[in-house]
C-alpha cells in the first residue's frame, strides 16, 4: 500500500513537471516577438566626385564636362535641408531643423549629423537642395544659415549652390555659378529622393553605427536634362531661366553609395 502511494506521488510529480515545461515553451516573449531599437544618431556623409574620381576642390585637377570643356574647381558648396528618413513601412520621419552647408573645401562639413533619430529600419532618404522659403524670410540666422558663410544675397535670400573654377573655355579663364531663388517660376529649390534598396539602414543607438554615404557628382551640373556650356555661360548668377536650368541638373547629382551598419 505504501509503495502504491509513493508511485502515485511520482506520477503526479512527473505530470506537473510536464505541464510546467509546456507552459514555459508556449509563453510568448515579453516584446511579442518584435525587436526594439534605440533612438540614435545617423551620419549623412557626402562624398564629392567628378565622374569616377574624388573631386579636388583646390583647382589643381582638370576635368572634362559634357560639352568637352576642360575645367577645374576652386569652390563648391551646396545646402541640404529638410531631411526626411523613409521607414521600412513607407512612413517618413522628418528631422527637425535639418539645415546643412556642404563645403568641398571643409572636410568637417561633409558629414551632416542627424540626432535623435527614432530607432528602426529605414530604406531611403529625402531632402531638399537649397533653403525653404520660411527660412529665407526669417531674418538673421546662425549656424549653417549664418550669412557670414557667404551663401546669402541681401536682395534675394540664400544661394543654394556655388560652383566656381577655372576653364580655358571661358573668355576670362574662369566660371562662376551662383544658384538661388526660393519662389516663383524660376525657383531653384529641388527635392531629392534616394532609395537604399537592397540595403537597409538600422538605427539602434549604442549598438550599431548608422551612416549613409551619398555621392555628389559635379559633372552632373553640366548635363541632364540641360546642356550647360562654360563657353556660352561662364557666369550664371541670380534668379532666372538659366539658374533654373542648372537647378534641374543639380537635382540629379546625388546617388546612393553605401551604408555602414556595423555593430559597435
Give the model confidence (pLDDT) of 141-186 as tens digits.
Answer: 999 999 999 999 988 899 999 999 999 999 999 999 999 999 999 9
Backbone angles phi, psi at 11, to 5 degrees: -60, -45
Helix H or strand E segment including 12: helix 2-26
Mind listing the pLDDT tens digit for each residue in 56-75?
999 999 999 999 999 999 99
Cα 127 to Cα 79: distance, rounded to the nearest angstrom: 10
Residues making up the chain, counted from first to last: 264
pTM of the model: 0.86
Contacts with 218 (C-beta within 8 Å, 6 or more apart), sequence order: 48, 49, 50, 55, 63, 73, 76, 163, 253
156 versus 113: the higher-pLDDT residue is 113
Tell me: cis bond preceding 225? Omega within 30 of 0 counts.
yes
Mind listing the pLDDT tens digit for each residue in 27-61?
333 344 568 999 999 999 999 999 999 999 999 99
* Residue whose entry in the numeric block shows the C-alpha cell 539602414: 201
Coil, strand or helix: which one is 29?
A: coil
Amino acid at each position: 500500500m505504501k509503495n502504491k502511494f509513493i508511485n502515485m506521488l511520482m506520477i503526479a510529480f512527473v505530470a506537473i513537471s510536464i505541464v510546467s515545461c509546456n507552459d514555459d515553451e508556449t509563453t510568448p516573449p515579453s516584446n511579442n516577438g518584435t525587436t526594439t531599437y534605440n533612438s540614435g544618431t545617423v551620419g549623412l556623409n557626402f562624398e564629392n566626385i567628378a565622374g569616377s574620381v574624388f573631386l579636388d576642390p583646390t583647382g589643381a585637377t582638370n576635368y572634362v564636362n559634357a560639352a568637352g570643356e576642360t575645367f577645374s574647381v576652386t569652390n563648391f558648396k551646396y545646402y541640404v535641408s529638410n531631411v526626411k528618413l523613409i521607414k521600412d513601412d513607407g512612413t517618413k520621419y522628418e528631422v527637425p531643423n535639418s539645415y546643412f552647408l556642404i563645403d568641398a573645401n571643409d572636410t568637417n562639413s561633409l558629414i551632416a549629423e542627424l540626432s535623435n533619430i527614432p530607432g528602426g529600419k529605414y530604406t531611403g532618404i529625402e531632402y531638399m537642395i537649397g533653403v525653404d522659403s520660411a527660412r529665407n524670410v526669417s531674418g538673421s540666422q546662425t549656424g549653417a544659415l549664418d550669412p557670414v558663410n557667404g551663401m546669402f544675397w541681401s536682395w534675394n535670400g540664400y544661394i543654394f549652390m556655388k560652383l566656381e573654377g577655372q576653364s580655358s573655355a571661358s573668355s576670362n579663364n574662369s566660371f562662376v555659378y551662383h544658384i538661388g531663388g526660393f519662389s516663383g517660376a524660376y525657383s531653384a529649390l529641388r527635392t531629392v529622393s534616394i532609395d537604399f534598396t537592397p540595403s537597409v539602414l538600422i538605427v539602434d543607438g549604442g549598438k550599431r553605427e548608422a551612416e549613409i554615404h551619398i555621392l555628389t557628382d559635379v559633372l552632373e551640373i553640366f548635363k541632364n536634362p540641360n546642356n550647360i556650356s562654360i563657353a556660352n555661360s561662364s557666369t550664371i548668377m541670380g534668379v532666372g531661366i538659366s539658374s533654373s536650368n542648372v537647378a534641374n541638373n543639380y537635382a540629379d547629382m546625388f546617388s546612393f553609395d553605401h551604408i555602414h551598419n556595423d555593430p559597435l
